[in-house]
Amino acid sequence: MSTLSLHIGIMCHTSLGGSVRIARELALALAQRGHEIHLITPAIPQGSWDTLDNHLHHHVVGSNLYSNRHPASLYTTWTKEELLKFTTQVCCIIISKRLEILHFHYAVPFAQVAAHIRIHLGDRCPQLVGTLHGTDVTILGRDPVIGPQLSSALQAVNGLTTVSHCYARLAQETFCLPNLPKVIPNFINQTQFDVNNVKNAFPCQHHRPRLIHISNFRLVKNPQAIAHIFLALRQRIDAELWLIGSGPELPAIKEIIERSSYQSDVTFWGVQKDVAPLLAQTDLMLITSQQESFCLAALEAMSLGVPVLASKVGGLPELIHHQVNGLLFLLDDLPSAVEMAVNLLTQPTQYQAMRAAAIAQAQQYDHKKVIPLYEDYYQTLLNNVI
């Protein structure tokens, strides 16, 4: 643990997604380690927020920009007025709370907010840190209008991180950054994703093979492929599919399932506050994303001993080592994905070995190992070493 208590602001969105969950968990973990943390959001964050800490302070600023929006919606098209109001209120928090670090998660619109803060506060500006999480690089970063704006805004920050080496290289190329962002991976509190600690968990041999997909069901997750993989697999072995989450592509998946003969084998759980008890009751996680910077859901599954079958994209191969702790298939090669799933689920010895390897890999990403990396990075910035 860092010996110095820091005053840190953390800005993030409030929708369902990895950037929000990592920002929230980072805020809580830092507070529990004695830092004064100010979580700054445009609305109340989605998901679990049961554990509070005396060192953690939450500020909802702006105009509650996520009111009347779908939980999976990521609001990035802020107006100039919304941006100005949010920036002004954040500046007030920085001054009144004597923030030394302001750390934003997801570049849009928070890189622009950070750039405006530097202009407004000048010498009183804290060290500005940004974490790039995924579509802020691959989609918005490549937008002909938004991309150049982001490249300019990111020049104002003191330090940049991202969650995988693949995305560090991609971010440097996309935004013409002079240096690679520092890689600090996603993390989990492993005690919350340990089979021995999770309520209602029971061994997989007590049920037919159960597949699971957890996401915000946005287009980039390619979730319709989940339905196609499962239906092809179901024709070969008795199995069931659990879908957790909500998002814009979910109706299309339901339509595919309803046209099949296997509706009774698919359960739609909707948004769940705590996914661990459900996840622990499954045998294989499916991920079919077109792009992924890391995939926090995959890490959670592996921690619970659930192997992951995923598309070989982005940072996923850094977490999932093919045929060791999980399986990877080429994007859109769904027949190969089906074959891999059938083979794994019908070979108990191979399955148990992969299950053990998945748990071992996930242990490398426990928050107790990763949070100190952020603390060291903050301290390095404050010492003006970078």
Query: Which has the closest alpha carbon to 90: 48, 124, 60?
Result: 60
d(CA 82, CA 16): 21
Q: Which residue has the tokens 């950054």?
A: 177
Quick check: helix, strand or coil at residue 308?
strand
> How far, in Å, are 18, 62, 186, 286, 287 from residue 214 at the CA level?
11, 30, 16, 8, 8
d(CA 204, CA 239): 12
Section 204-218 average pLDDT:
85
Same fold, 7-187+366-384 and 190-363: yes
d(CA 309, CA 331): 12
What residue segments make up the domains of the chain, in order of their start? 7-187+366-384, 190-363
pLDDT band at 6 (very low <50, low <70, confident <90, very high): very high
Class for the domain spanning 7-187+366-384 = alpha beta
pLDDT at 44: 73
d(CA 296, CA 185): 10
Most confident of 41-55, 154-168, 193-207: 154-168
Higher-confidence position of 202 and 340:
340
pLDDT at 77: 84
d(CA 5, CA 66): 32
pLDDT band at 217 (very low <50, low <70, confident <90, very high): very high
pLDDT at 332: 87
pLDDT at 16: 73
**pLDDT value at 1 more than 70:** no
pLDDT at 74: 75
pLDDT digits (tens, 9 = 90+) for 17-69: 789 999 999 999 999 999 999 999 998 765 555 556 789 999 998 765 556 66
**pLDDT value at 3 more than 70:** no
**Mean pLDDT score of the chain, rounded to an integer?**
92
pLDDT at 314: 96
- Backbone CA torsion sign across 58, 20, 118, 161: positive
Section 226-242 average pLDDT:
98
Q: Which residues pair with 188 in a beta bridge?
A: 366
> How far, in Å, are 11, 34, 159, 184, 287 from residue 26 at the CA level?
11, 13, 17, 12, 25
Tell how strand 127-132 and strand 101-105 pair up: parallel
Instruction: Mean pLDDT check: name the lowest of 206-210, 251-255, 311-315.
Output: 206-210
Structure pTM? 0.92
Tell how strand 101-105 and strand 56-60 pair up: unpaired
d(CA 273, CA 232): 30
Domain 190-363, second-level architecture: 3-Layer(aba) Sandwich (3.40)
**Structure token pair of residue 132:** 């790039």
Give the count of alpha carbons within 13 A of 265, CB side only.
22
d(CA 307, CA 199): 20
pLDDT digits (tens, 9 = 90+) for 85-105: 999 999 999 999 999 999 999
Section 156-175 average pLDDT:
97
pLDDT at 204: 46
